Structure 1
Amino acid sequence: MQKEGKEKIRPAQAQPKPGLEEKMKPTPESKPKLPGPKLEGKVAIITGGDSGIGKATALLFASHGADVAIAYLNETEDAKETQKEVEKLGQKCLLIKGDLAKEINCRKVIQKTVDAFGKINILVNNAGIHWEQQELTDISTEQLMNTFNANFFSVLWLTKYAMEYLKKGSSIINTTSVTAYRGSDHLMDYAATKGAILSFTRSLSANLAEKGIRVNAVAPGPIWTPLIASTLSPEDVAKFGSDTPMKRAGEPNEVATCFLFLASDDASYLTGQVLHPNGGEIIGG
């Protein structure tokens, strides 16, 4: 029943139960939205796209027709390999090197992408860092600021500067984490940044809904990426992911499909939501 005060968005109508679809006005849309390439003609920015989840997402986007701009810190060898693989799929790939913990570099990423491709349709805020610390007192102010600048403020800055170019139908996808929901006793500052990204995603989605720009997030669990091998102890690396219900870490290409779904029109009725590729851990939200 249409509530009083709500704007009517379709003709008033009624049927006896259980109702017939063919008599509905308009008829519900049931056919698959995109049977072919899901991102054809689109331009996507993917931060941290040189390796791991970002690389897998870049390759999957390219396989569905998108050109990509990859922002990365200093892993030039990995970035060039990703670029080569994207180009083999018939798409363009722009590499942008720079520390996204600095606002000026975030602005440069947006401008260089627009200069190269003329538009931005998809923004994937994926880059992140962390350092293990067993005690709160071991987290220096320098580490705290570095973690927040790289993980959270970069998301805010990139999105802010992209707003000029994002039009109706655009998609913003942020990488949060399972730690945003359950915390982490050894990654406290990292988990805090991921919680901030979660709240920012929900807030921005409400802000942009009427403009037709969708904002969602992906909250991976343990995923086998260079960040893990370069920051955890050898003992922790050896058992990484074994505490999940599936008893293993996930692979980047098992997460990239979440980004493809949220970037495409398949997710046209989703905003402010989070997907959870985490090996089966049940968490709130």
Structure 2
Amino acid sequence: MQTLNGKVAIVIGASIGIGKAVAERLASSGASVVITYAQKADKAEELIASIKNTGGKAIAIKTDLTQLADIRHLFQETIKNFGKLDILVISGSAPRVVKPVAEVTEAEFDYAIAFNAKGNFFALQEAAKHMADKGRIVTFSTPYTVQPQANLAVTAGSKAAIEQFTFALARELGGRGITVNSIMPGPTTTESFKDTISQLDQDFIAQNSPLQRLAEPGEVADVVMFLVSDMASYITGHNIHVTGGMP
């Protein structure tokens, strides 16, 4: 069984959903975990308490990924509290903008770019500065970058930027043994997915999946765990599909 004993991980966007599952998985494998949240302080504290109750080490830091000062503070506090950084997982994402191109507002466009593109870029920049050699970085993309959908241009475009940052950084940091990969989760039974997608649409999506169901957050977290473990030491610069066989 792979362990992360002695490792220090940052999980951005970990108070709920896939990020929460990732934080729990890394902590249960022995990593000290720094989780971030934007608004759900109560959920973050619940997660920290749960990790500590099972013998893990974790702290929560409020972080707005659109603010460079917050991003830098996050990495500084991680080093201050744990002395190093071995793993970065950026699971947080701006809310999906579901509108035709002709109807997207400047504010909606700016926020998606500020969070998904700018926020990810500068978090990756801080990781490049502070991460220990042989570290692991995992970003999150979306199936919409390879399977275009109407009304999702802003989400797909801002997430496509993340993929390109990931691929470039993999080449830049390879000499230090640091791997940088992206994963592309398909429809997953998170709180936000269930809140924004009707039950009828959820059933339709599940029926059209080769596996006849949606993903569970823990299944995505298992892929992250693989990528940050020694088992994936020769995998870098890739976008891993976790879509249950859907395009």
* The two structures share one fold, judged by TM-score above 0.5: yes
RCO higher in 1 or 2 (8 Å CA, sep ≥ 6)? 2
Quote the offset at 1:192 in angstroms: 1.0
**Pairwise CA distance, 1:103:** 1.4
| AA partner of residue 61 (structure 1) | L
Q: 1:192 to 1:242 in 2, by over 3 A?
A: farther
Structure 2: runs of 5+ lacking an equivalent: none
- Could you report, residue by residue, the CA deviation over 1:91-134 in whole angstroms, capped at 9, with x for unpaired residues? 11110113111111111111111111111100001110223433
Deviation at 1:237, TM superposition (A): 4.9
The number of equivalent residue pairs is: 247
Equivalent AA in structure 2 for residue 228 of structure 1: F
Say which is worse superposed, 122-131 or 38-47, in terms of deviation: 122-131
Q: Give the drift of 1:268.
A: 0.6
Matches within 5 A, 1:111-126: 111-126=76-91
What is the aligned-residue identity percentage?
Answer: 32
2:220 aligned residue (255, 259, 263)? 255
**How do 1:264-283 and structure 2 match up within 5 A?**
264-282=229-247
Cα 1:241–1:185 change in 2 (3 A) is farther
- 1:241–1:80 CA distance, 2 compared to 1 (3 A): farther
User: 1:164, CA displacement in angstroms?
Assistant: 2.4
Cα contact 2:209–2:245 (8 A) shared by 1: yes
Relative to the length of structure 1, the TM-score reads: 0.82
* Separation of aligned partners in 2, 1:150 and 1:215: 19
CA distance in 2, matches of 1:129, 1:249: 21
Q: How far did residue 260 of structure 1 move?
A: 0.5
- Cα distance in 1 for partners of 2:235, 2:126 equals 23
Query: How far, CA to CA, are the matches of 1:90 and 1:247 in structure 2?
Result: 37
Aligned to 1:3: none
| Cα distance in 2, alignment partners of residues 93 and 181 from structure 1 | 36
Is the aligned partner of 1:147 residue 2:112? yes
Deviation at 1:246, TM superposition (A): 2.0
8 Å contact kept, 1:132–1:231? no
1:77-96 mapped onto 2 (5 Å cutoff): 77-96=42-61
Map 1:3-22 onto structure 2 (within 5 A). none
> Is 1:47 matched with 2:5?
no
Superimposed CA distance per residue, residues 26-71 of structure 1 (whole angstroms, 9 cap, x where no aligned partner): xxxxxxxxxx442111000001111111111111111110010001
Is the contact between residue 180 and residue 198 of structure 1 (CA under 8 Å) also seen in structure 2? no
- Tell whether 2:137 aligns with 1:172: yes
State the alpha-carbon separation in 2 of the partners of residues 202 and 112 from structure 1: 27
Rounded Cα–Cα distance in structure 1 between residues aligned with 2:180 and 2:39 = 28
What CA distance in whole angstroms lies between the structure 2 residues aligned with 1:222 and 1:278? 7
> 1:198: Cα distance to partner?
1.2
1:167 is displaced (CA, Å) by 2.1
Aligned match of 1:8: none
Contact 1:241 1:250 in 2 (8 A): no
2 CA distance for matches of 1:73 and 1:189? 21
**Closer, same or farther: CA 37–91 of 1 in aligned 2, 3 Å:** farther
Tell whether 2:92 aligns with 1:127: yes
Kept in 1, the 8 Å contact 2:21–2:218? The answer is: yes
Q: Which amino acid aligns with 1:169?
A: K
Work out whether residues 100 and 154 of structure 1, in 8 Å CA contact, stay in contact via their aligned partners in 2: yes
The residue aligned with 2:196 is 231
Alpha-carbon shift at residue 247 of structure 1 (Å) = 2.6
Contact 1:130 1:231 in 2 (8 A): no
Show structure 1 runs of 5+ residues with no match: 1-35
2:35 counterpart of 1:70 = yes
**Distance in 2 between residues matched to 1:104 and 1:194, nearest whole Å:** 22
* Deviation, structure 1 residue 244: 2.0
* Kept after mapping to 1: 8 A contact 2:188/2:217: yes
Q: CA deviation at 1:230?
A: 3.7
TM-score (norm 2): 0.93
Rounded to whole Å, the distance in 1 between the matches of 2:148 and 2:74 is 31
Letter in 2 for 1:261: F
Partner of 2:74: 109
